[in-house]
Amino acid sequence: MNINALYNEWLEKATADPDLKAELESVKGNDDEILDRFYRCLEFGTAGLRGVIGAGTNRMNYYTVCQATQGLSDYLNAKYEQPSIAIGYDSRIKSDYFSKEAAKVLAANGIKVYLFKELEPTPCLSFAIRYFHTSSGIILTASHNPAKYNGYKCYNSNGYQMTDEEANETYEYIKKVDYFTGIKTMDFDEAVQKGLIEYMGEEVIDAFLDEVIKQCVNPQVTKNAGLKVIYTPLNGTGNKPVRKILDRIGVKDVTVVPEQEMPDGNFPTCPFPNPEIKQAFECALKMAQTIKPDLLLATDPDCDRVGIAVRDNDGEYKLMSGNEVGAMMLNYLLSQKKGKGLLSENSIAVKSFVSTDLAEVIARKYNCTFKNLLTGFKYIGELITQLEAEGRADDFVMGFEESYGYLAGTHARDKDAVVASMLICEMAAYYKTQGKSLAEVMDDIYDEFGYYYNTVSSYTFEGASGMEKMAAIMDGLRNNAPSSFSSMDVTVIDDYKTSVSTVLADNSTSKIDLPKSNVLAYTLTDGNKIIVRPSGTEPKIKAYITAIGKTKEEAKEIADRLIADADALMK
């Protein structure tokens, strides 16, 4: 591939968006900048596309979005007689623009498009796919990434993200599309007049919220508990639907962070709009000093994930991890449903395999079947779809991922911060009537089951050399498997790429009955764990660490030692 020839071709032909021409002119003669934009094409996988907004084959722009959409159109037309699709978008820079351009391409290919009138959460898109019985869905979002990123996620007719097979088939079509000569498009207004593009009405969101509210297990408790909440949508899509659902369940004392209320893809007060990090709560925490709420809520820009901070016994606000919230929500749902006689004999809960094992221990207490699946909420979506096909949809209690993604109910097939925000507030209200904060509830859970200290270390590898480094690290771990971490023997190695689980004591092996994934998991003495996994959407390797102790101090000491070992592996 001749990078300079590619650059010159784009400089000449990339005229659809004036921003691209200006950017390409600005990097003329800068070999490093040109290389970064053209050294590869954005790959289309089960997470769709994700990249920095800008000019080039390695950027999110009109041409990469429309190439992907033309390929998707070809795939859908080959697979369905009369395909249709739902499209949503978030508050990110160019999300609304990309959504309309994608709609024009699909319409030009004869595919009926249902388009949201305004930005909406990702779970609403998942719901809309099933509401309209469409063949597919697209949402323009980069979730919690910094402002310079955008993304393009594709869904199948079941409402969850494309499977590996579907994504691979689509990518084969995409690769055949020339950026400048292979894309069909048409006038947007003409497509609307012909009925090829149809705006979705407010009734879709109302129907979504009607399904969400069915997940309440103590529907009256929030009306009388006097719960006080500070909420931030982090300049994203959660503002309207989260406030609506909280109002509907009777949580009236909700203060919204004004600087982060309205959609803004620049995220001016929060460069990393990620509810996993404290920075996302800084504005809310300042307000909390005077408002003194029971709870702080933060949803990420596409409102599929939610983080919380709760007041502890000292009056300070403590951020709770995704693992803690997932375990606590599961404990709440199981205990309340069991107490009300609503828990199915064949109940089932599920999490990603990198999330806390505490949830599995809690489920065991209530005789609830528990499953661990690969990271990616589509696997939870697949499980729900399978249960529904078997007439067992009501058996599903909840699913979650440690990265702040939760789903109760089967209305969506992706993580849903709207239903999670509602249940967190219900849970907080219920325990408030018992004189307990959520921090105290979590302490009670640790006292009962042991302290599970879960942490994630991320290692970033930027650019072309970074991709090579990531591959070399994973190959090195496979070729020279560690026998111990921090003086703790490795007892089991699970290689999800080869689907082989090996017990080191006798070298016996068994098959891992999950889709193949580039992940290595090491089980250590006393149930401690290290799981190493390259990110599917970012240039990172993540090390997920589980340390178990009788106390937080004991568990953290183990975790610190394991983190040091993980750091050494990534050099």
- Please list the active-site residues: 143
How many Cα atoms occupy the beta-carbon half-sphere of 540 within 13 Å?
A: 13
Which residues, other chains included, contact 49 with Cβ-Cβ below 8 Å and sequence gap of 6+? Answer: 42, 43, 60, 64, 65, 68, 151, 152
Q: Is 305 exposed, middle or buried (0-12, 13-18, 19+ CB in 10 A)?
A: buried
CA distance 335 to 259: 38
Helices (H) and strands (E) in the chain, counts: 19, 23
Q: Is 1 exposed, middle or buried (0-12, 13-18, 19+ CB in 10 A)?
A: exposed
- Cβ atoms 424, 218 nearer than 8 A: no
Q: What is the DSSP letter of 258?
A: G
How many Cα atoms occupy the beta-carbon half-sphere of 377 within 13 Å?
A: 29
Encoded tokens for 236: 């994203």
Encoded tokens for 264: 């803004």
DSSP H helical segments within 218-273, as ranges? 221-224, 239-248
Q: How many angstroms separate the Cα of 243 from the Cα of each of 230, 240, 252, 282, 438? A: 11, 5, 9, 20, 21
CA distance 474 to 415: 29
Left if phi > 0, otherwise alpha if psi is -120 to 50, otherwise beta: which for 164?
alpha
CB atoms inside a 10 Å sphere around CB 502:
18
Whose tokens are 């597919």? That residue is: 136
CA distance 34 to 11: 11
Residue 549, Cα to own-chain centre: how many angstroms? 29
The length of the chain, given as a count of residues: 571
- Cβ atoms 290, 265 nearer than 8 A: no
Whose tokens are 């999800």? That residue is: 496
CA distance 54 to 24: 9
Residue type present at position 233 = P
Furthest C-alpha separation in the chain:
71
Sign for the CA dihedral angle at 5, 11, 15, 19 comes to positive
Which residues, other chains included, contact 476 with Cβ-Cβ below 8 Å and sequence gap of 6+? Answer: none
Residue 372 pairs in a beta bridge with 351
- Cβ atoms 231, 347 nearer than 8 A: no
Strands 149-155 and 136-140, bridge-based pairing: antiparallel
CA distance 405 to 43: 24
How many Cα atoms occupy the beta-carbon half-sphere of 239 within 13 Å?
A: 17
